[in-house]
Amino acid sequence: MTSNSIIIKECILVESYQWEAIHLNDPTYDGEFYYALKSTGTFCRPSCPSRTPNKKNVQIYYDAKEALNDGYRACKRCQPDILNWKGSRYELVKQVETYILQHYDEKLTLNHISTALSINSHHLHRTFKLVTGSTPLQFSHQVRIEKAKELLTTSSLSATHISFKVGYSSLSHFSKVFKDKEHISPSSFRNHIYRNSSKQ
């Protein structure tokens, strides 16, 4: 199929963040949108290493199938037609998880994480949930509670001390999250561990 047989739709405005992603070959938005080139009849991912196209030839798509249906060929370099391509979505999730694992004892909000990683907060939240099924903050609670369980098991630190050590600003918040996830209070968890160890 040649570029003469593609379907030229009414121009969809190229948003500033999309054009910047295309210009910088930024993988952050891979899978979020695609850009087709009317001049070549091909379509690409934002991260495609090809040279920056002429903006007037760019047509935006949010679904690779739609671009294919309109007659555009998939770029051979970035292969946007590979439906099970993991790409930067999984890299983004890995970045977020690594950051949380390294900073779980600090104040963590979506804005803190997105600013630290230079990623749009809405994109970060949406992508993380799409890939993992949970939000970044839910993951941070999971990490904190696992760290807390470790300290409750291996140390004599008070629950209050542990709550601060794993990143919570109050014992009440820590206790609530702990009980929501473990269905037991921190003190009861520790007593259960002690009782089991004393029986051995």
Task: State the angle between helix axes of 186-199 and 136-154 in degrees (0 to 180), rounded to the nearest 10.
Answer: 40
| CA dist., res. 98 & res. 142, Å (int) | 13
**Given 44, 48, 75, 78, which residue is catalytic?**
44
| 16 alpha-carbon distance from chain centroid | 21
Query: For 184, how many CA atoms within 13 A lie in the half-sphere containing its CB?
Result: 11
The two structure tokens encoding residue 148: 């807390």
DSSP string covering 56-99? GGEEEES-HHHHHHTTPEEPTTT-TT-TT--HHHHHHHHHHHHH
Q: Active-site residue 44, yes or no?
A: yes
Active site residues: 44
